[in-house]
Amino acid sequence: MFKQGSIQSHLSVRDKLFAMDFVLLSCIIFLGLISFFAMYSTDGGEFAYHTKSHIVRFFVFFLLFFVVSFFKISFWYSTSIPIYIGILILLILVKYFGLTSSGSQRWLDLYFLNLQPSELMKIGLILFLANYYHRISSGDVNRIGFLFKPLVALIIPFILVVTQPDLGTAFLIGVGGFIVIWLAGVKMKYFTYFGLILVSLTPIAISFLKPYQKSRILTFLDPSRDPLGAGYQITQSKIAIGSGGFFGKGFLNGSQSYLDYLPEKHTDFIFTLFSEEFGFFGSSIVLALYVVMTMRIVSIGNMVRDTFSKLYCYSFATAFFIYVAVNMCMVLGLIPIVGAPLPILSYGGSSMMAMMLGLGIAMSCKIHKDQSIN
């Protein structure tokens, strides 16, 4: 065991490169390329601001992805709690020094980048919880005392983000956390209890509200959404996707986005734009790429032996899938609009950074799968 470990601990850069999951890597590169074209199209067929900055970001964070994946997984295991706490501090800083845009305070001005710590928290919480459940024994998982800590670790960032306000990201952070807790083996009954408490609290909370207050709260939770009346964005998005047909309207010919009918086309509705221009054909390819990526990360989870890596890979794969699914369901009109970017494709530095970080750690699990983390 020691022998094995000592050999593996001296992997060269070349070894690490060859130990990478090339399917996952190609999927990232392919999606990156697709995102360049999509961004070029949102800029009206010009090599303009969004395209340039998106390409720069992609390459910067793609590099980050490599760097992250070359770090030993034991490094990520041992730093997961400091990472979580660091992001938590950033979230608190946002409360006081954050930039406000469209009525919500989400960003920290770092000069070269407006950082959105809530995006990083998506990864930070998974790391923290995976670390936690790695450390406790399986017998302790379902003891009440051991449920307390993960719940607090989940609720604090959730509340910080919800009050920014940013319901969408808070929801995705929460879902990511619960997935880890679920995978770790916490009994179904606790989820049921928690769910029941939430359900029973909701009507009480709502009953205190008057109709105009309810609508105010809804607007408050996300003021930048739906400026033209309920359903406008969804209607236009469905029109755009539906009118794309099988092969789409062609690159740069998406009239819905070109003529500004499509809201938020750089960010949350990037899939709509792509779908309009490349039709069912293009959309299924993108969907397939995401599915393959998820499956590859799961298969990494199958390879690794330690609980931290396994929990991390499974949870990240699932969370990643949920980000994709929520975004697609949203633009397809299957669920209400919540702010949820599409990983890699959507414009946005923090989201890109968080995804590359997450993917990098998953890749690190693959590269260092035979190494011990302790």
Partner 1 sequence: MINSTGESKSKLIGRRMFIISAAKAVVVFGILGRLISLQINESKKYKTLSDKNRFREWKFSPPRGTINDYYGRQIASNKQVYQLHIIPENSENIETLLFRLKNILNLTDKKIFKIRRKITSQKPWDPVIISDNLTWSEFSRINLFLHELQGAEPIVSVARLYTEPSSAHVIGYVSKASKKDLQNKEYLKDKITTSTRVGKTGLESKLDNQVLGDVGYKRYEVNAYGKRIKEISIDPGKAGKNFKTTLDQEVQDLASNLLKDKSGSVCVMDIYKGDIVAMVSSPVFDPNQFVHGINNENWNKLIKHRDKPLINKSIAGLYPPGSTIKSLAVISALENDVFNPKTVIQCNGSIELYGEKFHCWKKKGHGFMDMREGLKQSCDVYFYEVARKLGIDRLSETAKKFGLGEKVLDGFIEERTGVVPNTSWKKKFIGKNWYLGETLHAGIGQGYWQSSPMQLCLMTAQIANGGYKIKPRIILNDEESKKFSDLNQFIEDRKLFADDVVSLYDFISKFKYKSLFRNPENIKFVIDALYGATNEPGGTSYGSRITKKGFIFAGKTGTSQVKRFTARQRELEIKNEDLPYEDRDHALFVAFAPYKDPRYAISVVIEHGGSGSKSAAPIAKKIIKKVLDRHPLRESQANGEIT
Residues that bind partner 1 (CB under 8 A): 1, 137-139, 179, 182-185, 236, 238-246, 255-256, 259-261, 275, 279-280, 283-284, 287, 291, 294, 298, 301-302, 305-307, 310-311, 314, 318, 321, 325, 328-329, 332, 334, 372, 374
Closer to partner 1 by Cβ: residue 60 or 325: 325
Q: Which H or E run contains 100? A: strand 99-101
By the 10 Å C-beta count (0-12 exposed, 13-18 middle, 19+ buried), 232 is classed as middle
Whether 139 contacts 148, CB under 8 Å: no
SS in 3 state form for 119-185?
A: HHHHHHHHHHHHHHHHHCCCCCCCCHHHHHHHHHHHHHHHHHHHCCCCHHHHHHHHHHHHHHHHHCC
Q: How far is the CB of 233 from partner 1 (least distance, A)?
A: 11
Q: How far is the CB of 311 from partner 1 (least distance, A)?
A: 6
Closer to partner 1 by Cβ: residue 65 or 290: 290
Q: How far is the CB of 183 from partner 1 (least distance, A)?
A: 5
Closer to partner 1 by Cβ: residue 44 or 223: 44
Closer to partner 1 by Cβ: residue 202 or 284: 284
Closer to partner 1 by Cβ: residue 53 or 78: 78
72 Rama sector, left if φ>0, alpha if ψ -120 to 50, beta otherwise = beta
Tokens describing residue 59 = 């390459």
Q: How far is the CB of 248 from partner 1 (least distance, A)?
A: 9
Rounded Cα distance, 298 and 293, in Å: 9
Whether 62 contacts 32, CB under 8 Å: yes
Closer to partner 1 by Cβ: residue 158 or 290: 290
Residue with structure tokens 């939430």?
A: 198
Closer to partner 1 by Cβ: residue 35 or 233: 233
Q: How far is the CB of 169 from partner 1 (least distance, A)?
A: 20
DSSP string, 304-365: --SHHHHHHHHHHHHHHHHHHHHHHHHHTTSS-----PPTTTSS-HHHHHHHHHHHHHHHHH
Closer to partner 1 by Cβ: residue 166 or 264: 264
The candidate with the shortest Cα–Cα distance to 257, out of 235, 267, 272, is: 272
Q: How far is the CB of 97 from partner 1 (least distance, A)?
A: 35
Q: How far is the CB of 295 from partner 1 (least distance, A)?
A: 9
Q: How far is the CB of 62 from partner 1 (least distance, A)?
A: 26
Q: Tell how far CA 143 is from the center of its chain.
A: 30
